[in-house]
Structure 1
Amino acid sequence: MEHAEEAEARRDWTDGHVEQWLPVLPGLDPVIEGAVTRMKLLSGHLRRVRERSLVDFALDRPEFDTLHKLAGRGGTATPSQLATDLDLAPASVTGRLDALERRGFVRRRPSTTDRRRVHVELTESGRATWAGAMDVLGDEESRVLGALSREERELFNDMLRRIMLVAEAG
């Protein structure tokens, strides 16, 4: 319980935000407002870290997303699979792949079973660039969630899952 006592002794920006709005909105639940505001702020913080890491690795968001989806498929996919994964028209994926191929991040290989098909492969350079950008974000996620013990992180994850199940059920 040491962590809970420390948190109560320290205040963050959201504590002031909630105090400001309580007199204006008397029905406001300060716990819900605090939790939702903190989730939004944390999400924004992690998004900014990700965007800075993309700049550091000279990637734009569409390039990163394409490398990410390709890496998620084990480093190889067809353009149509990537189009589906990215929810894009095939022509849009072709443009992305052209740019990534020029940078040496992917290569296209003809299918060995069907000459009309092409497979896209993540190159070592593409994998290293994608992994480097991912590491920056992963390090920050570990840093901020390091404020919790292992058990607290597991409980937090379980609680967020329960919340997401309600949100996903609509």
Structure 2
Amino acid sequence: MSKRKLIEDVAVELRLLQRSFDAFDEAAASTLKLNRTDLRALDVLLASDEHLTAGELSNALKLSPAATTTVLDRLQRAGFAARIPDPGNRRRVHVAVTEAARAAERELYAPVGEAGAEALSGYDLDQLATIHHFLRTARGVQEAQAARLNS
């Protein structure tokens, strides 16, 4: 097989992988009775080491403050997020995930991580390093292309 053909095959597999991510996200959102934007917000919050301010969440999601408020209202009603007033600034609100959000994360995403780890366990260190490098490179390409479209 030629290098060009293999690159084309990788591109096809990446497209199919993206579709599988989209399908999983759609199923997760449906399971949690959220829309995709709410699920994205929940993902950002779950991945954060600390509470985020509403403004930081707006920036991460590239949403207006008003749209972020609507997302937070829905997440709060669903029991997945809580607003915490900033004691030093009455106008600032921090957003924290709830135990219900952590439970949903364990239920929905832990099995994905476990299955992924199992699938990767068959690769040696050099192969894993190559996979890691490829994924970082592919993410960089996607982020650059998103920036190109958004400019």
- For normalisation by structure 2, the TM-score amounts to 0.75
Alignment of 1:1-170 (within 5 A): 29-142=4-117, 144-145=119-120, 148-151=122-125, 152-162=127-137
Structure of higher RCO (CA pairs closer than 8 Å, 6+ residues apart): 1
Deviates more, 1:119-128 or 1:135-144: 135-144
Q: For 2:115 and 2:21, how far apart are their aligned partners in 1?
A: 8
Task: List per-residue Cα deviations over 1:13-42 (Å, max 9, x = no partner).
Answer: xxxxx9xxxxxxxxx932221121122212
Write the letter of the residue equivalent to 1:29.
R
Unpaired runs of 5+ in structure 1?
1-17, 19-27
- For normalisation by structure 1, the TM-score amounts to 0.68
Write the letter of the residue equivalent to 1:89.
S
Q: For 1:74 and 1:96, how far apart are their aligned partners in 2?
A: 20
**Going by fraction, where is strand more abundant, 1 or 2?**
2
Answer with 1 or 2: which has the greater Rg. 1
CA RMSD, aligned part only? Answer: 3.0
Write the letter of the residue equivalent to 1:150.
D
Instruction: Flag the 1:58–1:141 CA change in 2: closer, same or farther, 3 A.
Output: farther
Deviates more, 1:55-64 or 1:84-93: 55-64
Residue-pair matches, total:
144
